[in-house]
């Protein structure tokens, strides 16, 4: 029995010694120094030794900066909306003209297109076109009375007046936002720079127009930043010897002059611009644009009359294509 106990003792002895040695080594390790828990004061020292209360989630320096910062910057004023009124009528080149115009307007920020058809009802062609144009737009229609369709009489009078009436009605019961009105005929070509120029119109702004009046261009004559006359090839005695594409009007001016419209009675061809502008401004008040009216940014190009001599009288194709 004793021999069995001794044999087991000698088997366990090495393991007992190993445990004793490990315990001895662990007790000789230096204990880590006790560090006090950091104390965060609810106050911080600012300039001149003043105690500044710390804001939650911020520092004293941040608090100082917030206290010393100036007023918050004012939000940027909204970009004035350009309202482009375009009279249009049914003809073989109508869709082509409107497509060119839409391609220009899509590149102009904050533009609203008011398209007015000379018709008793909206046409399917123009309705489909506007639906796919990707532009903020309004589609109106008003027919020109037959008695005013004779050659030599002013055109698009009713359509421009319909656009003016829509604008006034839209802003009748609300504060008008900054805006500019521009008469954009569909047979003209427009530089994008023109829209940048007209957007700053305060009352009525003017600029040159190319390929008009039997000349390469017509323009207001400017001296010391004021319009003093007109460079024109037709009826220089007009009060405002300018093309319809050569001016823009502030929306506020349109709303402040509710009776200003294009007149039928007593108005002669080429005098519509003068008859309209006389109701809202004077020559002395005009604002020259386009580098004091020395740059042409719009052209009265007019599409060439198409040759349809071989077009059959009756539709012969197996499909109907919109042109």
Can you tell me the distance from the alpha carbon of 101 to that of 112, in angstroms, rounded to the nearest whole number? Answer: 13
Please, what are the domains in the chain? 81-299 (3.90.550.10)
Over 14-27, what HEC string results? HHHHHHHHHHHHHH
| Burial group, residue 245, by CB count within 10 angstroms (0-12, 13-18, 19+) | buried
Can you tell me the distance from the alpha carbon of 288 to that of 85, in angstroms, rounded to the nearest whole number? Answer: 21
Can you tell me the distance from the alpha carbon of 178 to that of 162, in angstroms, rounded to the nearest whole number? Answer: 21
pLDDT for position 91: 95
pLDDT for position 41: 47
Structure tokens at 37: 């828990």
pLDDT for position 304: 78
In Å, the largest CA–CA distance within the chain is 144
The answer to whether the annotation marks 243 as part of a ligand binding site is no
Can you tell me the distance from the alpha carbon of 292 to that of 290, in angstroms, rounded to the nearest whole number? Answer: 6
Q: List active site positions.
A: 273
Positions of the chain with pLDDT lower than 50, given as ranges: 34-36, 38-45, 54-68
Per-residue model confidence as pLDDT tens digits over 299-317: 999 887 888 888 887 877 8
User: What SS3 class is residue 260?
Assistant: coil
| Element (DSSP H or E) covering residue 216 | strand 215-223
The count of C-alpha atoms lying within 13 angstroms of the C-alpha of 209, restricted to the half-sphere facing its C-beta, is 21
End-to-end distance of the chain based on CA atoms, in angstroms? 120
The answer to whether the annotation marks 8 as part of a ligand binding site is no
* Residues 67, 56 contacting (CB under 8 angstroms): no
The answer to whether the annotation marks 265 as part of a ligand binding site is no
Q: What angle do CA 90, 93, 99 make, to 5 degrees?
A: 100
* Alpha-carbon distances, residue 135 vs 8, 18, 300, 322 (angstroms): 99, 89, 23, 21
* Alpha-carbon distances, residue 236 vs 194, 208, 230, 239, 271 (angstroms): 25, 15, 7, 8, 11
pLDDT for position 150: 87
The answer to whether the annotation marks 118 as part of a ligand binding site is yes
- Residue of 300, 107, 96 lying closest to 195 (CA atoms): 107
Q: What angle do CA 127, 132, 138 make, to 5 degrees?
A: 50
Phi, psi (rounded to 5 degrees) for 52? -105, 130
Q: Residue 155: left (phi > 0), alpha (psi -120 to 50), or beta?
A: beta
Structure tokens at 320: 């109907």
- Residue of 318, 281, 262, 226 lying closest to 142 (CA atoms): 262
Per-residue model confidence as pLDDT tens digits over 185-229: 999 999 999 999 999 999 999 999 999 989 999 999 999 999 999
The answer to whether the annotation marks 186 as part of a ligand binding site is yes
Phi, psi (rounded to 5 degrees) for 34? -80, 120
């Amino acid at each position: 029995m004793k021999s069995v106990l001794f044999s087991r003792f000698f088997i366990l002895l090495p393991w007992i010694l190993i445990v004793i040695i490990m315990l001895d080594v662990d007790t000789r390790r230096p204990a880590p120094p006790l560090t006090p828990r950091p104390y965060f004061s609810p106050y911080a020292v600012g300039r001149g030794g003043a105690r500044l209360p710390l804001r939650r989630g911020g520092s004293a320096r941040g608090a100082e900066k917030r206290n010393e910062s100036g007023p918050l910057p004012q939000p940027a004023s909204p970009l004035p909306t350009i309202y482009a009124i375009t009279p249009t009528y049914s003809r073989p080149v109508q869709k082509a003209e409107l497509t060119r115009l839409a391609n220009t307007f899509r590149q102009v920020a904050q533009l609203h297109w008011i398209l007015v058809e000379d018709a008793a009802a909206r046409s399917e062609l123009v309705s489909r076109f506007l639906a796919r144009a990707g532009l903020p737009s309004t589609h109106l229609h008003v027919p020109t009375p037959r008695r005013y369709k004779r050659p030599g009489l002013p055109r698009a009078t009713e359509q421009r007046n319909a656009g003016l009436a829509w604008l006034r009605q839209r802003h009748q019961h609300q504060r008008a936002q900054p805006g500019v009105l521009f008469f954009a005929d569909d047979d003209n070509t427009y530089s994008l720079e023109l829209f940048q120029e007209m957007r700053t119109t305060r009352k009525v702004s003017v600029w040159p127009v190319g390929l008009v009046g039997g000349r390469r261009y017509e323009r207001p004559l400017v001296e010391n930043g004021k319009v003093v006359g007109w460079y024109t090839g037709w009826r220089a005695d007009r009060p405002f010897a300018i093309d319809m594409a050569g001016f823009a009007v502030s929306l506020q001016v349109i709303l402040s002059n509710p009776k200003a419209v294009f007149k039928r009675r007593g108005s002669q061809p080429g005098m519509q611009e003068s008859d309209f502008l006389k109701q809202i401004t004077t020559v002395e008040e005009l604002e020259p644009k386009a580098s004091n009216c020395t740059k042409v940014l719009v052209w009265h190009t007019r599409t060439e009359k198409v040759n349809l001599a071989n077009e059959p009288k009756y539709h012969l194709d197996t499909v109907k294509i919109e042109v």
